[in-house]
Amino acid sequence: MSELTTVARPYAKAAFDFAVEKQTIAQWQEMLFFAGEVAKDAAIKQMLTGTYAADKLAEVFIGVCGEQIDEHGQNFIKVLAENQRLNAIPDISLLFNQYKAEFDKEIDVEVTSAVKLLKKQQEDISKALEKRLARKVKLNCNVDPSVVAGLVIKAGDTVIDGSVQTKLNRLADALQA
């Protein structure tokens, strides 16, 4: 990556978050790749380093990209032009691809319960965790009677402890304090 990586990171993150929200990750990936290739063109590069007004730069850039960029992509180009960041588009595209690769990864989740979970319960937990963690979830279920009731969920650095045993321990600590 180039020295523009630091400049590109917040734009790539914003574009990725928007694409995730709108469920258009593949479309955004294609748009950013195409715009990045346009930005690498010698004539466009020269124009980007010139003293053109932001709105004129955006207009020309969008004109060159044509139908390859939708309305949201055009707005993104305009924001980049206003902030004099159109030259960072190739780096934005690379970072976007990294965010997508990270997003697509599956995460292993340890679920500990007092009794064996039913298939339906596992599916519900998996769906809820996929939504919360924004990743594909692979459940590894364990049974530990000391949990008493509830669940202990460990996903990477995140621990969700909804066990009755932990709640009882907290209550005991509060009463002793």
Residues forming beta bridges with residue 152, ordered by sequence position: 112, 161
3-state class of 97 per DSSP?
helix
N residues, the chain: 177
Domains of the chain: 5-102 (1.10.520.20), 106-176 (3.40.30)
Cβ-count burial of 77 within 10 angstroms (0-12 exposed, 13-18 middle, 19+ buried)?
buried
**CB-facing half-sphere around the CA of 173: CA atoms within 13 A:** 6
Among candidates 119, 123, 113, 107, which has minimal Cα distance to 153?
Answer: 113
| Displacement of CA 65 from its chain's centroid (Å) | 25
pLDDT in tens, the chain (177 residues): 457 778 889 999 999 999 999 898 999 999 999 999 988 888 888 887 777 888 888 888 888 888 888 899 989 999 988 888 888 899 999 999 888 877 877 777 889 888 898 899 999 989 998 888 877 888 888 898 887 788 888 887 788 888 888 888 888 888 887
Residue among 168, 128, 126 at smallest CA distance from 147: 168
